[in-house]
Amino acid sequence: MLWLFSAVAFLAHQILALMEPGVIAGIMAGEVEGMKIEPELILLFAILFLVPLIMAFLSLTLKDSINRWANIIVGAVFAALFIGVIATVAKLSGETLMTFSTVVALSLIVWYAWKSKQKV
């Protein structure tokens, strides 16, 4: 459930970003936040959105020990990534709130996975 929450919060962040003045005009011009929109950038954002959805599925299908470590590793990497996003955002906004909520969800994923008992 927390993986799905993080995916929806990431999507909400992207939607809120589109509401800032000038963003859509920049996208139409092929640029966002000083970066040229290339296929690689689009692929990166697709991966950032798909990984939490894949992890939600894998959390239901993997063996407990593998699931535990997958959640710890992927959750920690994504939490660190989104902490970096928060650190680069200069102003407090809805985007920052959604990114912060994503970090909280990812931190909870890591916490619960770390605290879960491994079956031997």
Taking only the tens place, the pLDDT of each residue in 91-120 is 667 778 888 899 999 999 999 999 987 654
Distance CA 89, CA 9 (A): 16
The predicted pLDDT at position 118 comes to 60
User: Is residue 120 assigned to a domain?
Assistant: no
In the DSSP assignment, the letter for residue 120 is: -
Q: What is the pLDDT of residue 85?
A: 80
- Is residue 35 a part of any domain in this protein? yes
Split into its structural domains, the chain has a count of 1
Q: pTM, whole model, 2 decimals?
A: 0.81
Report if residue 55 sits inside a domain: yes
pLDDT tens across 35-54, in order? 899 999 899 989 989 999 99
> What is the per-residue pLDDT for 94?
78
Q: Which of 57, 116, 51 is nearest to 79 (CA)?
A: 51
In a domain, 83, yes or no: yes
- Give me the pLDDT at residue 105, please: 94
- The answer to whether the beta carbons of residues 68 and 51 sit under 8 Å apart is no
Find the domain containing 78 and state its range: 2-115
